[in-house]
């Protein structure tokens, strides 16, 4: 029974208590890039993330509604966030992903340029959205501050809301 072992056990129990402490005020997000910006949504709102698959255009819809696609038997709308955010559309690349978000019965796929990573962020590090962007209409839930960058946290219900 060496000191080393004790050390390790201590360390582990410390870690455990740490995670327990944090579980309350830590938010888990998944970050992604659209254009130049990094955005994030709560990890629990994500049903899955898939590589681009074939989709079908739906007429009489705004440009950002790319169409619908088949996700294991369900027909799901596909929304291009580049166009929705006013950027020019881009060809899908190897890094493009479909982000399938779900809230209640509402499900939709979103085209994003690139995934970054799962992020754990303390609640106190999340600031409110800029004053000009506050309100029910805003898609921004808050702004998360990290060491070297900030990321915009989006409201999932707003993303899934039909606005045309």
Number of residues that bind other proteins (CB under 8 A): 25
Is residue 111 within 8 Å of residue 96, measured between CB atoms?
Answer: yes
Query: CA torsion sign, 157 to 137 to 112 to 148?
Result: negative
The CB-of-68 to other proteins minimum distance in angstroms stands at 5
- Residue with smaller CB distance to other proteins, 65 or 153: 65
Q: Which of 1, 20, 36, 59 binds other proteins (CB under 8 A)?
A: 59
Residue 54 interacting with other proteins (CB under 8 A): yes
The CB-of-95 to other proteins minimum distance in angstroms stands at 17
Q: How many CB atoms lie within 10 A of CB 6?
A: 10
Residue 34 interacting with other proteins (CB under 8 A): no
The CB-of-66 to other proteins minimum distance in angstroms stands at 11
Residue 48 CA to residue 64 CA, distance in Å, equals 20
Residue 81 interacting with other proteins (CB under 8 A): no
Three-state SS for 91-154 is CCCCCCEEEEEEECCEEEEEEECEEEEEEEEEHHHEECCCHHHCCCCCCEEEEEECCCCEEEEE
- Contacts to other proteins by CB under 8 A: 54-61, 65, 67-70, 73-77, 91, 105-108, 160, 162
């Amino acid at each position: 029974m060496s000191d080393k072992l004790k050390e390790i056990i201590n360390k582990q129990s410390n870690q455990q208590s740490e995670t327990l402490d944090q579980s309350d005020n830590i938010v888990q997000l998944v970050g992604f890039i659209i254009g130049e910006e990094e955005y994030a949504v709560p990890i629990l709102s994500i049903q899955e993330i898939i590589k681009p698959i074939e989709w079908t255009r739906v007429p009489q819809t705004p440009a950002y509604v790319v169409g619908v696609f088949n996700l294991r038997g369900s027909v799901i709308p596909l929304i291009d966030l580049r166009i929705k955010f006013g950027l020019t559309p881009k060809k899908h690349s190897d890094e493009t992903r479909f982000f399938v978000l779900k809230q209640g019965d509402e499900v939709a796929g979103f085209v994003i340029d690139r995934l970054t990573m799962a992020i754990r962020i303390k609640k106190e590090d999340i600031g409110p959205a800029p004053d000009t962007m506050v309100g029910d209409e805003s898609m921004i839930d808050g702004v998360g501050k990290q060491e070297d960058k900030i990321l915009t946290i989006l409201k999932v219900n707003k993303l899934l809301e039909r606005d045309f």
